[in-house]
Amino acid sequence: MPSWLTWAPGGTPVWAWLALPVVACLAWLVAKLIGSLASSIVGRKEEGEEKSRFKRLVAFSRKPAQWFVGIALFHLGRKPLPISGELQGFLHYSELALGTLAILWLMLRLAGVGSNFLAATLDRTGRSHAKAAIPLVRKVLKGAIIIFGVVFLLQNLGIDVGAILAGLGIGGLALALAGKQTVEDLFAGVTLVVDQPARVGDFCKFGSSAGTIEDIGIRSTRIRTVDRTLLTIPNAKLCELPIENVTVRDRILLKAVLALDYKTAPAQMRAILESMRALLDERPDIAPGSRVRFIEFTESALNLEVFCYVTTRDMNEFLKVREEIYLRIMDIVTESGSGFASPTPPVVLQAAEQVTVGGGGN
């Protein structure tokens, strides 16, 4: 070996300095070869749902895994080299930092793959509405992975993480107090997704407002009102309101009080009641258990009550059925010879008779 190669600047021979990049290149080439070999082996397997899922998992984790394997091979390859203690320390901490970043990269990719798998599972099991919580869970999981990785790296680099966390305690407390409402809205959004009092696309009544839910976000829920305006309500406030989900009802109530004229005879009243009951019983879109009753005498009318359920969830269909029933009821009342009462009793004015007092031609 020439003398200039044995010269040791900084306590490490020149040939060892030259060997380090060679070892790094060889380690990288071997790691890349291992990654390509693993991908080709997985690609030759028969296709199927589980095989395809495993193939996507390998594709997502290949690059960070290659980095980690390459760093490990470089560590093994440089160990026999006669390098100084200072350079060994530098390389050790560099390998530790790069290895930690590779592991964090791998875990972040696995978190993304896991969230996609969870979304596909929810779609397959008919619980697509629960996917609204996946972005929140993914962000929280990735944040926890990054924090854990940073703490692990700082701790292994000899930095007192406990002292840093203690110093950040007061600032963290102030931040938590300032973001109290945001945290409440965050957990309220998770509650709305998990408990499912309403889903995106449902028409609901809440408080004094009503509308169709367009989006359930992390902080607030957006609702399209009947006036076509967009109403945004914080999730924490929405959870405090009674939510009446109109979309999930299985039928719609039809209830009306009809006022008949007092000129209606008992026989006419019986005929009207029987005809109206037959009308409701013969319609397939009216649920069993309907009733028509003569309920009361008022100052101006004889009142009948119609009570039934229309077996539909569509409001337009309900309005159509109700219109048909109301028109048929008008026909029944008219055909019976009766009529509907006026909202107010009629006022009859009679002319006073002229009385002549006294006699004569006066």
Question: Tens of pLDDT along 166-177?
Answer: 655 555 545 455
Q: Residues 185-214: pLDDT tens digits? A: 777 777 776 677 888 888 898 878 899 988
Same fold, 182-245 and 252-335: no
| β strands within the chain, DSSP E | 203-206, 209-216, 220-225, 230-234, 243-245, 252-260, 291-297, 302-310
What is the per-residue pLDDT for 79?
83
Class of the 252-335 domain?
alpha beta
Helix (H, G, I), strand (E, B) or coil at 354: coil
User: Would you kindly state where each structural domain of the chain is located, as residue ranges?
Assistant: 7-161, 182-245, 252-335
pLDDT digits (tens, 9 = 90+) for 99-158: 888 888 888 888 877 777 777 776 676 666 566 667 767 777 787 888 887 877 777 766
Q: Highest-confidence range of 94-98, 116-120, 232-236, by mean pLDDT?
A: 232-236
Decide if domain 182-245 falls under CATH 1.20.140.10: no
What pLDDT does 324 receive? 95
Judge if pTM exceeds 0.85.
Answer: no
Arithmetic mean of pLDDT, 24-43: 81
Mean of the per-residue pLDDT values of the chain: 79
Q: How confident is residue 361, by pLDDT bands cut at 50, 70 and 90?
A: very low
Which residues are within 8 A (CB) of 198 and not within 5 positions of it... i.e. 6 or more apart?
Answer: 192, 204, 213, 243, 245
Binning pLDDT at 50, 70 and 90, where does residue 321 land? very high
Of 136, 242, 119, give the one whose Cα is nearest residue 185: 136
Choose from 27-41, 122-136, 227-241, 336-350 the range with maximum mean pLDDT: 227-241
Model confidence at 223: pLDDT above 70: yes
Number of C-alpha atoms within 13 angstroms, CB side, residue 104? 18
User: How do residues 282-312 score in pLDDT, each as one tens digit?
Assistant: 999 999 999 999 999 998 899 999 999 999 9
Q: What is the pLDDT of residue 269?
A: 94
CA dist 199 and 127 (Å) reads 11
How far out from the chain centre does Cα 171 lie?
33
The pLDDT confidence band at residue 1, using thresholds 50, 70 and 90, is low
The tokens for 138 are 């993914």
Name the most confidently modeled range: 98-102, 149-153, 224-228, 266-270: 266-270
* Top-confidence range, 6-15, 27-36, 84-93: 27-36
Q: 3-state class of 299 per DSSP? A: coil
